[in-house]
Structures are given as structure tokens and as C-alpha cells.
Structure 1
Amino acid sequence: MIRKLILCLALLAPLPAQAEKLANKLFGAADQPSGQDATPIGSYARGCGAGMVALPETGPTWQAMRLSRHRNFGQPVLVQFLEDLSKSATQIGWRGLYIGDMSQPRGGPMTSGHASHQIGLDADIWMLPPKKLTLSRKDRENISSIPVRSADQKSVTSNWTPRHAALLKAAASDARVDRIFVAAAVKIEMCKTARKSDKKWLQKIRPVPGHDTHFHVRLKCPKGARLCETQTPSVSDLSNGGDGCDETLAWWVSDEYLNPKPSKNPGKPAPRKKGPREYTMADLPRQCADVLSSR
């Protein structure tokens, strides 16, 4: 009897950190949303999503791309936003939108790709204007978007059009949007061409590397979502207090940033931070365990 009790206690004891299963494997294995009320939990890059819903694979003004990734899920507010923006796209002359990665069915860290997209409030929208919205599943795996930023990263290409600018303005002008990530060259071009009397929305357009073929929309935490961590600083707290088009924007396309010289005095390297693909459940909000276990 005592031996059986000792064995049971040993099985219940917490595993050592190196033996814990990675969170991205657990969330990546979930093929359906949790049966809970919809709520984003944690931060955009360290969290999960309860009660998510799927963006239909095809709609009247959109198609979800790369369906094999199973990442066309989000909070209801995100799905509604994407449907609304795709309708706005038709008003600027596009047929609609090709929607890239959103979140996994229960959010959480992904096995590949993004560090964020974890709580169901992020979505990638292709820069490729759709020629048709009847692509097959196979077509959606093989077709690619287009780059709107030059190879040297300093300017936009001929793929960039006023309609791209109009689409980004429509997205940034939406009250649900917190910020939008684009290539620095796109932000610079938009600062040049936007009307001086109508540039406040530009503060939401943020330069971030790796966004030359799509733009990344991030929504605000929905009202009442107490477990959702709002980003700091918010878009209303930019240091320049304006549209983000000041002289510091040029730094993003400077040689200093694009081609940094090795330091002559490197000193002691900073300790490496754990990445999202190394997170265990202990690294996420405790409510994420309930999201995983919910039916």
C-alpha cells in the first residue's frame, strides 16, 4: 500500500523544466477552438485565445490563404474586422482581400513563423490584389504575394500603388485597430503622399522588418477583456506626439540600421531570452491550461 502511494505521488510531481512539453506543440495540436466565451488571454506574444472562431475559408470579398497551416482563427472582433475591411477593399478598386495567418484554433505559440498572433487579435493581409476569389485549396498553397519594398529596403517598388495606400488608411482609421506593421519604406512613402491635414491615422502605421509582402494588423484588446494585456505604449503615446513621420523614421532605412558595423568593444553578450517556440505552459498565463483542456 505504501509503495503504491509513493508511486502515485511520484507521477503527480511536477516534471523538471527540460521534460515539460513545449507549449507550441500542445497548441499546434489543437484542431478546434475551445468551448468557452471568447476572450484573448495574456499578451500578443505570450498568451492564448478562448472561444475563437474561424474566418470562413472563402467569403464574398475575401479568401483565407495557406489553409494547410490551419491559422484562420481569431477573436470574433478580428473576424468581423477582416470581413469589414475586405468590403472596404472593393470600394478602392480591389476585388477583396487575401488573408494570411491569423491564429491557431486556440491561439498560443506557433510551431513555426510568428512570435505574436497568439491571442486572436493579429492578422496578416497580403499586398497582392486578388484577381479572383475562387482559388482552390491547392492554388492557395502555391500562389505567393508580391513585395512592395525594394531589395535594398529603402524604397517602394512599382508594385506599390495608391490603392495600397488607401487600403492601409482604411485599416488604420478603424477604431478597433491598435497598430499596423509595414516595411519602413512603405511608411516613408505614405508619409510623403498623405495629405498634411489628414495624417493622424498614420501614427498607427509602424515600420517593422519582414513586412514587404503583407501588412500585419493588430487590434486593441476588446472592451471588458480583463485578461488581455494592452500594448505599451499605446498608439496615443508616441514620443513625437504626432504621426510618426518625423526625422527618426529615416533611421529605419539608414546604413547604420541596415548594415551595422561590428562593435570594436563587444563586451559581454547579453543573456539570450527564451523565444516563443521554447515556451512551456509555465511561461503562459495560467488560464491557458483551461483553454487547452476545454472541449
Structure 2
Amino acid sequence: MVSVWPRAVVLGCALSLAAFSAAAEPAAKALFEAARSPAPLPPQSFGFYSKGCLAGAEQLPADGEAWQAMRLSRDRRWGHPVMVSFLKGFATEARRRGIWSGVLFGDVSMARGGPMPFGHSSHQIGLDADIWLRPMPRERLSPEQREEYPFRSVLKEGALTVDDRIWDDSYRDLIQLAASDTKVQRILVHPGIKKKLCETTRGDRRWLNKVRPYYGHDSHFHVRLFCQPGSPNCEPQRSTGGGDGCGDLDWWFDVALQPPPPNAKPYKPKPDLTLSDLPRACERVLTAGPGGAPAIAALTPDIGDIPVPRPRPGR
């Protein structure tokens, strides 16, 4: 005798199984952090800057004549080859022009991109990079020193404006150099820095359009490149529009950077992204070659023997 489960029971079991699977799926940040080598695939960015992954990443050398990479233990100096080439050329040109003798680079992306375990919501497709607002010291920093070398804000202590004891025209020239590159889509800085740039830039101001105010970013500036050729599944960010963006700062100082009102709802963090939240290609990126599939096998929980409804028999 063939047993036929009622439709409601089948549907209920299916929904329960789906809910269990979603709850059991590990956070994508754990999977991507465990992948310590790049996916051996052609260079390609998948998805959006804050929801995607990276194939064929290249590692920025820890040291160059005009730069040093910081916080090496994080292993976040991987990027799309175009990003790595941009960073090398940017530091070299800044030195050649006498802006700074050397640049300190912060986080780029992990070996296969994806969500990071802490520190960033973007930097997932190899096209974001942080550049410290602090010149490289004359004496080279050792790997150990780079773990502890402090961030330094360029703002006045307890204020929202730039500290002129730190800031000089070289900071503006450095940001302008980056913004003037045609590969750069936008640059994120603290609103106080944007205000300073608006007040001190003379002549051609078109590059200011790419410099956008954002929370934080007072000790570094964030460079984002356009989606690159060969990445048809890279999701572009909306245009920065026209104008220099200097007439839109009041909201930041009058509203956004002010303390929240006493009756404001507490901030509720977003749930962690899972692999199923990312573009489908990211599973292949994560499992390709050595260092991929074992990471998934190790971090995906064993859900054991779960009863699955039998299919309804045919007539």
C-alpha cells in the first residue's frame, strides 16, 4: 500500500526544512575568510561592491619603492589586477610629483573577495581600497610595526573639521591625484575633509565630483574603481552626477553627524550574508582550485539525517 502524505503536511515539512537550512547555513564571511588563495579563474568581479566576490585576484606586494601595505596579518591586500596596478601606479606617481615620498595602503579585498569578518561591508569584489591619510615614515616599518602603527585622524579632536596642524595642501593633492584617474568611480572621505577640499580647491574643480562625504573615513580615504572590462556580472554603482558636490554638505553637519534624538530607535545590525545571498557564481569562485571546497566542507555544519517528505506517487 502506497502512503500519500496530505498536501498541507508536505508543504509544512518543506517550509520547515527550508527554514532549518537557512538557519544552518554559515555566514559567508567565515567561508571567504578561510579561502587563503585566489580562485584560479580569469580575473572577474561578480555582484556589487557590498555583495559579491572576486575571481583571479592578484596580491599587492607588501613593499614597493613608494608604498608599504599595512596590517599584513589580515591578508587583505588582494584585488582585481586593475586595482593592484592602479595602487602601484598611484603611489609611484605621488612620489614622482613630490606629493608624498611614500603611501600607506590599508585593506583592499580578501583572496576571493566576499564579505569580510569585520571592518567593512564593501571591499567584496576587488575594486575598493583604503589609503591612509598619513605619509609613509622615512624609516621602513617592519611587519610587526605595521600591526601596531596607529591610525591618525586628520580632524580636530572632538570636532568635525580638519585640523590645520596636520592638514596641508599635499593631502588635497594626493586625493586629487586619485580622483583624476579615469578608472576611479568615487572616493569616500569624512564630510569635514570634503568641506576642506571645497574651501581650498582653486581652478579646475571637476575632480571634486568623485569625492563623496561619508561616515568615518577621517584617517583614510576609500578609493572605488569602476567595474572593469571582462566582468559582465559586476554591478555598477550609480553615477555621482554633475557638479562639485560642495553644496550638499549642510545635511551632514546639521543632521547626519549629530547625536541621535533620545527617542530614536536603537540601531539593528543587518544579518550576516550567506553564500546563497551572493551571486550564484560565487559558489564556483569559492570552490575552485585548492583552498576552496575544503573550506566549505569544514565550515558547513552537518545537519544529519533529516526526514524529507516522500514525493507524491503518480497515478
- Normalised by the length of structure 1, the TM-score is 0.87
1:167 paired with 2:174, answer: yes
Which residue of 40, 46, 52 corresponds with 1:47?
A: 52
Write out per-residue CA displacement over residues 218-241 of structure 1, whole angstroms, 9 at most, x where no aligned residue: 011012421100002x12x2xxx3
Q: Secondary structure at the match of 2:249?
A: helix
Give distance in 1, aligned partners of 2:236 and 2:79.
Answer: 17
- Tell me by how many angstroms 1:64 deviates: 0.7
Per-residue CA distance 1:12-63 (angstroms, 9 max, x = gap): x976111111100000001110100001100000000000000001111111
Task: Pick the aligned partner of 1:124 from 106, 115, 130.
Answer: 130
Aligned residues: 270
**1:291 counterpart = 2:292:** no
Residues 1-295 of structure 1 aligned to structure 2 (within 5 Å): 16-90=21-95, 91-132=97-138, 134-157=140-163, 158-195=165-202, 197-232=203-238, 234-235=239-240, 237=241, 241-246=242-247, 248-254=248-254, 257-263=257-263, 274-275=270-271, 278-295=272-289
Residue identity matched to 1:294 = A
Task: Name the residue aligned to 1:4.
Answer: none
Q: Report the CA distance shift for 1:129/1:47 in structure 2 as closer, same or farther (over 3 A).
A: same
After the TM superposition, which segments of 4 or more aligned residues of structure 1 sit over 2 Å from their partners? 150-154, 254-257, 259-263, 269-275
CA distance in 2, matches of 1:94, 1:271: 39
What CA distance in whole angstroms lies between the structure 1 residues aligned with 2:168 and 2:218? Answer: 14
SS in 1 for 2:246: coil
What amino acid maps onto 2:283 in structure 1?
A
**Aligned-residue offset at 1:273:** 6.9
Please tell me whether the aligned partners of residues 69 and 106 of structure 2 are also in contact (alpha carbons under 8 angstroms).
Answer: yes
AA aligned opposite 2:193: V
Distance across 2 between alignment mates of 1:270 and 1:211: 23
- Cα distance in 1 between the residues matched to 2:115 and 2:170: 33
Percent identity of the aligned residues? 44
Cα distance change on mapping 1:274 and 1:260 into 2, 3 Å: closer
Equivalent pair of 1:88/1:167 in contact (CA under 8 Å):
no
Deviation per CA, 1:117-155: give whole Å up to 9, x if none.
000000000011112362211011011132111234421
Distance apart, 1:259 and its partner CA: 2.4
- Give the TM-score of the pair, scaled to structure 2: 0.81
Paired letter, 1:126:
W
Q: CA RMSD in A?
A: 1.9
Unaligned runs of 5+ in 2: 1-16, 290-315
Q: Which shifted more, 53-62 or 146-155? A: 146-155
Once the two structures are TM-superposed, the CA of residue 271 in structure 1 deviates from its matched residue by 11
